[in-house]
Amino acid sequence: MTHTTPSTAASAPGSARSATGAAGPGQPRLRRALGTPALLLFGLAYMLPLAVFTTYGLVTDTTKGHLAGAYLVTTIAMLFTAYSYANMVRAYPVAGSAYTYTQRSFGRHLGFLTGWTLLLDYLALPLLNYLVIGIYLNAAFPAIPAWVFVVVSVVLVTVLNVIGITLVSSANLALVGVQIVFIVVFVVTGIAYLTGAAQLPDLLSPFFSAGTPLSAIAAGSAILALAFLGFDAVSTLSEEAKDAKKSIPRAIMLCTLAGGLLFIVTAYIAGLVFPDYANFTDLDSAPLDVMTRIGGSALFTFFTAAYIAGSFASAMTSQASVARILYAMGRDGQLPKRVFGVVHARFKTPWLAVIVVGAVGLVGALLLPLDVAASVISFGALVAFSFVNLAVIKHYVIDRRQRGPKAVVAYIVAPAIGFALTVWLWTSLSITTFVAGGIWVLAGVVILALITGGFRHKPPVMDFSEEDPAPLPAQ
């Protein structure tokens, strides 16, 4: 497999292009090598099947012990949104995801702001992974400060992404496999624990109970949106997928469904074996209390290993995806081209963009608390998801005038439900999250004003074509 295969930003397209969109002279096209299984693995690695434990303590506390119920609500909302992504990728089987769909449906200005908002969670997701790596490795090895583990993981992931996709692709299967094995072991161990318990809790209690306000479930569900970013990342690989109009939509839906079921089952078992959430030792590392209760030090160790492996996989794929987007923005003049538009001559990767993402992850992981990082990611994700749902209606119903019975269901009813659910979750986030997200959006408006001469001109279109960047001198 070459360096132009999927999850690194290396394979982002070059700027030289003919009027028809064909590759320029001497520019090789990307190799379409990814089938549905590979795309599904990419998405699951990005989502991190064990992500249920990333915000486990935080959301369990927020929902008053109803984490499984919150995941059920979020999964339903995300399935509608994933269906909208699947429909849009059929219309535009190119890289760019929410940016591309919004820009082509609503114009360049709104497209830029949508891409800018989505960039917030793409930048923060590697940060979140580095943060939890530090938290859990420090819990396992208390003598070593968490910041040491953060620094080491940032350096390692950044170097691998500068080198290229080969290392990322070959690692995904094993890393996802470790997580799946752990979930099976966790569920079996949890059931065994419950079977031997003197008294079983209410079997529906992880989903709902009398007196729990819907607002608490909604607040928790909103934070959990970050766990479903994997299907969005899959859509950025359209240019490298075999039969993208079929394989990408299929992978998007499978990734969302499989990830959601994994989250729900795991949260359900955890809620049954540790219903007394008020007794968590620490909300950030609350899963360790659950592991110790049902499996002792052995399950504690297995969880730490599986979770760190999954976090590492997610950090690699998420950092690669955001570097791809930054490269495209730099290439087209929306960000400084000498930094973000630079391609490494040997590895064909936007190495400076990769390093910038690593630096942001390092600083953020050392300074931000877990709840802030998680909520900020969900803010950006839910905004982007909302616009993708609207883009389906605009593209298929208004622009293409598809208004038959099937079209009404697929292109009006489904995306309208998806939009309503994502807006509901978005408005359930905290005031602090809205302040942080609002500052980021305001920065995007300022940048947009600068590159468009005070909104008098249209911003450059981000050209997600199929060709590799032309070889550049080493930087």
Kindly state the DSSP code that residue 28 receives in the 8-state scheme: P
pTM (2 d.p.): 0.82
Give CA separation, 374 vs 8, 94, 165, 302, in Å: 23, 28, 27, 24
In the three-class reduction of DSSP (H, G, I as helix; E, B as strand; rest coil), residue 349 is classed as: coil
Based on C-alpha coordinates, what's the Rg of the chain? Answer: 22
Per-residue pLDDT of the chain (475 residues; tens, 9 = 90+): 333 333 333 332 232 333 333 344 444 444 566 788 888 887 887 777 888 899 999 999 999 999 999 999 999 999 999 999 999 988 887 655 788 899 899 998 998 898 788 788 878 989 999 999 999 999 899 999 999 999 999 999 999 889 875 445 556 667 778 888 899 999 999 999 999 887 888 899 999 988 889 999 999 999 999 888 777 668 767 777 788 788 889 999 999 999 999 999 999 999 999 999 999 988 999 999 999 999 999 999 999 998 998 888 778 878 887 888 788 778 877 788 888 888 888 888 889 999 999 999 999 999 999 999 999 999 998 998 999 999 999 999 999 999 889 999 999 999 999 999 999 999 999 999 999 999 999 999 999 999 888 888 888 775 444 344 443 333 3
pLDDT, position 27: 45
Tokens of 447: 């940048």
User: How many CB atoms are closer than 10 A to CB 331?
Assistant: 24
Whether the CB-CB separation of 46 and 229 falls below 8 Å is answered with yes
The conformation of residue 283, written as its DSSP 8-state character, comes to: S
- pLDDT at position 35, please? 83
Which pLDDT score is estimated for 333?
A: 76
Question: Can you give the pLDDT at residue 24?
Answer: 44
Tokens of 307: 């979770």
CB proximity list for 351: less than 8 A, separation 6 or greater: 162, 342, 343, 344, 475
Q: Which of 211, 117, 109 lies closest to 452 in space, CA to CA?
A: 109
Which sign, positive or negative, has the C-alpha torsion 357, 255, 129, 127?
A: positive
Phi then psi dihedrals of residue 205, to 5 deg: -60, -30
pLDDT of residue 466: 35
CB contact at 8 A, 29 and 466: yes
Domains of the chain, each with CATH number or no CATH: 31-451 (1.20.1740.10)
Identify the pLDDT of residue 170.
59
Residue 34 in 3-state DSSP? Answer: strand
Among 241, 261, 263, 260, which Cα is nearest to 251's?
241
Burial of 338 (0-12, 13-18, 19+ CB in 10 A): exposed
Partners of 467 in the β-ladder? 29
Q: Which residues pair with 241 in a beta bridge?
A: 34
- Reference 178, options 41, 284, 291; nearest CA is 41
The pLDDT value recorded for residue 36 is 85
Specify the 3-state DSSP secondary structure of 229: coil
